[in-house]
Structures are given as structure tokens and as C-alpha cells.
């Protein structure tokens, strides 16, 4: 009878707290794992529409007007889309980093012009220092022109956060990535950013990073 009484006894608060902690940790782990898989699959998905209003190229490092290899690959990809008549306009983004003589957007525009894109077909966003700032600033002047449907060009691992940020600032995005998914570390870092951004918003996330 004593043993049966112990089995039927209602668990104390310490027991419930331990199980609540385990359930919470399990839910967090499942959320992070699910987000990682979504970022992984998004990185390998190249969403190229037949026609949009504009191509938006996310900035990367440049050296005194010479695009870095990462930025050059994005610009070459944007050129291929432009030449395929995916959009009549290219938006280049990115401000000036410490020590730079020019903005990332200016370096990108120079590169595109040197490869045959008319200056009239290029718009420059020259203030952004991160993804949210660049897309928010681009969205403001695109909306004035009635433009919402865009294709975003960046590295593969960036695709999930890029699309989510674009939707947050009012754009209707497709993502066309350069190269492959990127390394596991890049995917893991992006998965963590997306997991937090979904909860607090990507604008606040940009302030944290």
C-alpha cells in the first residue's frame, strides 16, 4: 500500500519545473533545427521570375571602386538577369564603410556601366550599412515609382533572411542567388539570425548585429 501511495502521489513543483524546462528546451531545439533546414533549402533555391520591375543587388566589400570577388559575382549575376530582360532596372545598394573613398553602390554602378548598362537604368542606394537599411531605403524610393515586385541578388546562404526582410519593408521579393549554399558556418549563422528576426523583427535584429 505504501508503494502504491507513492506511485499515485501528485508530483511536487520541483518535478513539474524539471519537465517544463525539458519541454521548453525541446521546443527551442525543434524551432532552431526547423529554421536551419529552411535556411539550407532557401540557399539552394534559385527563384528567377520571367519578369519583375527591378533587380536589387545587395552590397559587399569594394576596394577603392574595385568590387571584391563576392560583389563582382553578384554584379555579374545581375548583369545576366538584366541581359535576359528579367527587369529594366538595377538597384545597387550599400553605403561607405570606414576608410572607403566611395560607397559600395557607387562602385557597383561603375562596374555595371563599364559592362554596358546605361546609367539611366541604374539606381543607387548609398546609405545602407546592413541588409535591412539597404532594403528599407530601396523600398522607399521604389514605392514612389510604383515598384514592388523585385528580384534580389545576393549569396545563397543569405536568401531566407533577405526575402523575409524584403517582405517586412513592403517589397514582393524573388531571390536569385550567386554560387552555392556557402559553408555550414554561414548557414548556421543565418539560421540563428532568421530565428531571432522572426521573433523580434528584422529591423530590431539589424540594430543588434
Q: How far apart are CA 162 and CA 135, in angstroms?
A: 9
pLDDT score at 130: 92
Mean pLDDT of the chain: 89
Q: Check residue 7 and give its pLDDT.
A: 47
Q: In terms of C-beta density within 10 A (0-12 exposed, 13-18 middle, 19 or more buried), how is residue 148 classed? A: middle
For residue 3, pLDDT over 60 is answered with: no
| pLDDT above 60: residue 9 | no
Give the domains, in start order, of the chain with CATH numbers: 43-208 (3.40.50.620)
The pLDDT assigned to 5 comes to 47
Q: What is the pLDDT of residues 76-99, one digit of tens each?
A: 999 999 999 999 999 999 998 877
Average pLDDT in the 161-190 region? 91
Cα gap 69→124, rounded to integer Å:
20
| Polymer length of the chain | 209
Q: Among residues 176, 56, 58, 70, which one has the least CA distance to residue 128?
A: 58
pTM of the model: 0.85
- Please enumerate, as own/partner, the contacts of 33-37 that have beta carbons within 8 Å and a separation of 24 or more: 35/191, 35/194, 35/195, 35/198, 36/187, 36/188, 36/191
Q: Is the pLDDT of residue 121 over 50?
A: yes
Exposure letters 117-147 (e unless 16+ CB within 10 A, then b): beeeebbbbbebebbbbbbbbbbeebeeeeb
Is the backbone of residue 166 left (phi > 0), alpha (psi -120 to 50) or beta? alpha
> Would you call 126 helix, strand, or coil by DSSP?
coil
pLDDT in tens, 26-73: 899 999 999 999 999 998 888 777 899 999 999 999 998 899 999 999
Provide the pLDDT confidence category of residue 11 given band limits of 50, 70 and 90. Answer: low
Q: What is the pLDDT of residue 149?
A: 93
Report how far residue 150's alpha carbon sits from residue 49's, in angstroms, rounded to the nearest whole number.
9
Residue 46 host element (H or E): none
Between 84 and 15, name the one with better pLDDT. 84
Average pLDDT, integer, range 104-128: 96
Count how many Cα atoms sit within 13 Å of the Cα of residue 127 in the half-sphere of its side chain.
9
Amino acid at each position: 500500500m505504501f508503494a502504491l501511495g507513492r506511485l499515485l502521489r501528485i508530483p511536487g513543483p520541483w518535478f513539474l519545473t524539471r519537465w517544463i524546462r525539458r519541454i521548453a528546451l525541446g521546443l527551442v531545439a525543434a524551432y532552431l533545427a526547423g529554421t536551419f533546414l529552411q535556411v539550407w533549402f532557401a540557399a539552394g533555391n534559385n527563384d528567377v521570375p520571367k519578369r519583375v520591375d527591378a533587380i536589387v543587388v545587395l552590397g559587399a566589400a569594394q576596394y577603392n571602386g574595385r568590387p571584391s570577388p563576392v560583389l563582382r559575382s553578384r554584379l555579374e549575376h545581375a548583369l545576366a538577369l538584366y541581359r535576359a530582360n528579367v527587369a529594366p532596372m538595377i538597384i545597387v545598394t550599400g553605403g561607405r564603410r570606414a576608410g572607403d573613398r566611395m560607397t559600395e553602390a557607387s562602385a557597383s554602378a561603375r562596374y555595371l556601366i563599364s559592362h554596358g548598362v546605361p546609367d539611366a537604368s541604374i539606381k543607387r542606394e548609398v546609405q545602407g550599412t546592413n541588409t535591412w537599411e539597404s532594403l528599407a531605403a530601396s523600398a522607399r524610393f521604389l514605392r514612389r515609382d510604383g515598384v514592388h515586385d523585385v528580384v534580389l541578388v545576393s549569396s545563397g546562404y543569405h536568401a531566407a533572411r533577405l526575402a523575409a526582410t524584403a517582405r517586412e519593408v513592403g517589397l514582393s521579393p524573388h531571390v536569385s542567388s550567386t554560387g552555392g549554399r556557402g559553408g555550414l558556418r554561414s548557414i548556421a549563422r543565418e539560421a540563428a539570425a532568421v530565428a531571432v528576426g522572426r521573433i523580434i523583427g528584422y529591423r530590431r535584429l539589424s540594430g543588434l548585429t
